[in-house]
Chains A and B, each alone.
Chain A
């Protein structure tokens, strides 16, 4: 019996492709966001509200992940932005390779902001780097205030928390402060937005922040002497 020392990350191949994706996005000055949440928390609706406000100001593209259908991409296509659908055929999360293939179908030189909508799942997407600048976790008030405690890795790995469906709070046993406290004890630096995609509450604040960080990213690329 011989022993072979490996000391490698199990996901090293995914991580390597994610690094390549990140380099490619940086080269074109694209800010990429990985939107993660449970099914039905409002990821697609948030993208729709975002496009309504930012489509005139930024060049946005969308990659849609879905297990079986292209329904979400069809919704987004109505906003006349470049959209690529990834159907995972049963796979419960997106992987870097799938995003690389999707990116090959986009002209990144004409994109400022790339929104990647992951498969609805609070467990698996936490492990898979896609090459994004940050993960945005969305939770809806109907899911209950305990979700951050049940899925800590996702909340730890995200940079931003969007609490959606806040218009439903009066009808629910969900206390916003407790939900936020639960998320912030796992990740005290989470930036939190409170939104309702139905009434539009909080969407302007979210979009203003998104526009600002996208412009910062583009400015940083230009100041690095892009096109020297």
Chain B
């Protein structure tokens, strides 16, 4: 259940950056989560719903962009989607593959509404 501790950490980030005046409400939280991050979106949504009760982000919608796992071959330079977690270049079979994307666990932006002014 590390989604619960990730939800808690997410909430801390939101509270750090959201406006501090009492009437502001976070409505939407946009996230980028890599394929390799091992986070189950449904589980994170459930945990966030529980963790955000009574906070500035209570009831906020989590919009999650899944970032594909992309590798770059250090031998031939090819970029490719890593299928089945096989980090071997499909073009030249080199195992020297660096991760370009796919391990993200990021908050991109918040949509905030001031109560009384839609």
Contacts and interface: CB of A to CB of B under 8 A. Distances in A.
A212 interface: no
B85 A2 contact: no
Interface string A78-119: 000000000000011101000000000000000000000000
Given A92-B1, A123-B38, A11 B105 contact: yes
B38 A1 contact: no
Interface in B77-97: 84-88, 95-97
Interface SS, B side: mixed
Nearest to B31: A10
Contact of B108 (A6, A156, A184): A6
A2 B112 contact: yes
B85 A127 contact: no
B22 interface: no
Contact of A8 (B99, B106, B118): B106
A7 B10 CA distance: 12
B106 A127 contact: no
A8 B17 contact: yes
Contacts of A152: 36, 85
Interface residues of A, number: 33
A13 B27 CA distance: 23
B67 interface: no
Interface in B1-58: 1-2, 5-6, 9-10, 12-13, 17-19, 27, 31, 36-38
A126 B38 contact: yes
Interface in A116-131: 123-124, 126-127
A4 B15 CA distance: 12
B13 A1 contact: no
Contacts of B99: 156
Contacts of A12: 13
A218 B113 CA distance: 54
B111 A8 contact: no
A14 B84 CA distance: 29
Interface stretch (A34-42, A170-178, A185-193, A194-202): A185-193
A188 B87 contact: yes
Interface of B: 1-2, 5-6, 9-10, 12-13, 17-19, 27, 31, 36-38, 84-88, 95-97, 99, 103, 105-114, 118
Given A3-B112, A149-B84, 11 more contacts: A4-B111, A6-B107, A6-B108, A7-B107, A123-B2, A123-B38, A156-B36, A156-B85, A184-B95, A188-B87, A188-B95
Interface of A: 1-14, 91-93, 95, 123-124, 126-127, 149, 151-153, 156, 184-189
30 contacts: A1-B27, A1-B111, A1-B113, A2-B111, A2-B113, A4-B17, A4-B19, A4-B109, A4-B111, A6-B107, A6-B110, A7-B106, A7-B107, A10-B107, A11-B6, A11-B9, A11-B105, A12-B13, A93-B2, A93-B5, A124-B38, A127-B6, A152-B85, A153-B38, A153-B103, A156-B87, A156-B99, A185-B85, A188-B95, A188-B97
